[in-house]
């Protein structure tokens, strides 16, 4: 196999199409799917060299596979990371990113507005193994500072957050983490690598659910961990993934590679439609609140401007009349589908308090700003004017 010769750093749209490509002796244009568990060695000596690291080739698809490697490389080049490792899902990425570097006696500080499975990892799973955690309001830098303990090893945040689209100052939180000797892990799913580069802002580790915008067509699960420092991979992550096996299937890696080729145009189109639709929703008389990181009235508009290249493909809003009104709106939509995925080519609406955040108490939900009237909208690739009509008619039913 021959690697692309790419000494020069290329712009993101080019990396998304060509980055990391490997070609076999057949010279195939589209990346090959290597659906194989293992690899054959010509001689016993060749196997020995592969295992002792003298020959860098592939050994076993639990931890290295050519198709998965192409996906990792393409993401690494896009993100400006030192190393990348793909996983079976976004949650496998979050769990491995944290668990691989933590041990009993360590402490984690996390922003409390997290994807609910991430909250489970921080609040329930890690404490079972002796890793304590403190949850803070991520938008309040003093709370991050005050939460630091001598044994704090990791900071974890998501920005914009799910589903309230709060924005956290990544560069400032990174400074506090580094003063404390901790690594900052950022879940960058909502921003996408197109609009936000956490490593450039000072984060040490970035995780994605590739299930969202990277696939972008609702087909497969996948995840990826990207790191700004090689020692995190060498000392922690590589061995954890190799020995515990939350591996990405080569077939899913291939779907995700193809997703990356079109990700920039999809995310650009979805964002410009979302910006237009956010303005329409905000002006509707049945809507009491709208949060869109791209509008001047976003609560952290100054931070959005500083760290994001554009707004979002997601919109959060609240209708008057609580759950009944929110349900009437969701059920009246014809083009927009009711689902809990996001970043899909199809526009999707979610009622967080009865679905993704159902597990929490009403009190906890209100603490996160998730009211019964709140809906989260993920804008797809349909004609924006059809979406405006569909959403306006549905809002009239609130």
Residue numbers of the site for ligand PLP (CB under 6 A)? 89-91, 94, 115, 117-118, 158, 162, 187, 189-190, 209, 211-212, 221, 223
Instruction: Pick the closer one to ligand PLP by CB: 21 or 356.
Output: 356
**CA distances from residue 14 to 9, 18, 255, 258 in whole angstroms, order as listed:** 10, 6, 18, 13
Instruction: Pick the closer one to ligand PLP by CB: 274 or 394.
Output: 274
Shortest Å distance, C-beta 89 to ligand PLP: 3
Instruction: Pick the closer one to ligand PLP by CB: 70 or 191.
Output: 191
Please provide the DSSP assignment of 50-77 as one string: HHTTSS----BTTT--HHHHHHHHHHHH
Distance from C-alpha of 240 to C-alpha of 249, rounded to nearest angstrom: 17
Instruction: Pick the closer one to ligand PLP by CB: 352 or 384.
Output: 352
Residue identified by tokens 């990791």 is 154
Shortest Å distance, C-beta 15 to ligand PLP: 22
Shortest Å distance, C-beta 111 to ligand PLP: 12
Distance from C-alpha of 392 to C-alpha of 398, rounded to nearest angstrom: 10
Instruction: Pick the closer one to ligand PLP by CB: 190 or 254.
Output: 190
Distance from C-alpha of 298 to C-alpha of 60, rounded to nearest angstrom: 48
**CA distances from residue 376 to 105, 194, 316 in whole angstroms, order as listed:** 38, 21, 5
Instruction: Pick the closer one to ligand PLP by CB: 283 or 364.
Output: 364
Distance from C-alpha of 379 to C-alpha of 170, rounded to nearest angstrom: 25
Residue nearest to ligand PLP (CB): 90
Shortest Å distance, C-beta 156 to ligand PLP: 11
Beta strands in the chain (DSSP E): 2-3, 22-23, 83-87, 107-111, 132-136, 152-158, 183-187, 205-209, 223-227, 287-291, 314-319, 337-338, 348-350, 374-378
Distance from C-alpha of 200 to C-alpha of 30, rounded to nearest angstrom: 31
Element (H, E) at 288: strand 287-291
Shortest Å distance, C-beta 151 to ligand PLP: 26
Shortest Å distance, C-beta 166 to ligand PLP: 12
Shortest Å distance, C-beta 190 to ligand PLP: 6
Shortest Å distance, C-beta 91 to ligand PLP: 4
Instruction: Pick the closer one to ligand PLP by CB: 20 or 90.
Output: 90
Instruction: Pick the closer one to ligand PLP by CB: 139 or 162.
Output: 162
And the tokens for 203? 């984060």
Distance from C-alpha of 326 to C-alpha of 315, rounded to nearest angstrom: 14
Distance from C-alpha of 225 to C-alpha of 63, rounded to nearest angstrom: 13
């Amino acid at each position: 196999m021959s690697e692309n010769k790419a000494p020069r750093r290329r712009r993101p749209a080019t990396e998304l199409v060509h980055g990391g490509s490997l070609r076999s002796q057949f010279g195939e244009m589209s990346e090959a799917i290597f659906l194989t568990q293992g690899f054959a060695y010509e001689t016993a000596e060749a196997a020995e060299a592969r295992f002792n690291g003298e020959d860098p080739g592939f050994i076993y698809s639990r931890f290295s596979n050519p198709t998965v490697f192409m996906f990792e490389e393409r993401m690494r080049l896009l993100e400006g990371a030192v190393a990348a490792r793909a996983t079976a899902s976004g949650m496998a990425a979050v769990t491995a990113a944290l668990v691989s570097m933590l041990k009993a006696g360590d402490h984690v500080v996390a922003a409390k507005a997290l994807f609910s499975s991430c909250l489970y990892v921080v609040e329930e799973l890690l404490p079972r193994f002796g890793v304590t955690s403190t949850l803070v309001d991520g938008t309040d830098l003093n709370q991050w500072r005050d939460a630091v303990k001598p044994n704090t090893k990791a900071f974890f945040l998501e920005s914009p957050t799910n589903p309230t689209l709060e924005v956290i100052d990544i560069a400032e939180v990174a400074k506090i983490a580094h003063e404390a000797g901790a690594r900052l892990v950022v879940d960058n799913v909502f921003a996408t690598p197109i609009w936000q580069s956490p490593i450039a802002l000072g984060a040490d580790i970035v995780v994605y659910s590739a299930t969202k915008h990277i696939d972008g067509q609702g087909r497969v699960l996948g995840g990826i961990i990207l790191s700004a420092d090689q020692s995190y991979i060498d000392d922690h992550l590589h061995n954890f993934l190799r020995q515990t096996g939350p591996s990405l299937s080569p077939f899913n890696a291939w779907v995700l590679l193809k997703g990356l080729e079109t990700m920039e145009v999809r995310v650009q189109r979805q964002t410009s439609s979302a910006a237009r639709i956010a303005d329409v929703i905000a002006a509707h008389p049945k809507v009491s609140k709208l949060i869109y990181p791209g509008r001047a009235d976003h609560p952290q508009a100054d931070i959005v401007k500083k760290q994001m290249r554009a707004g979002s493909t997601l919109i959060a809003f609240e209708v008057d009349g609580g759950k009944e009104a929110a349900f009437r709106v969701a059920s009246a939509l014809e083009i927009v589908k009711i689902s809990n995925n996001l970043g899909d080519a199809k526009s999707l609406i979610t009622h967080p308090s009865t679905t993704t955040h159902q597990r929490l108490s009403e009190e906890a939900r209100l603490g996160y700003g998730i009211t019964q009237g709140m809906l989260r909208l993920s804008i797809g690739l349909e004609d924006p004017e059809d979406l405006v009509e569909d959403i306006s008619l549905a809002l009239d039913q609130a």
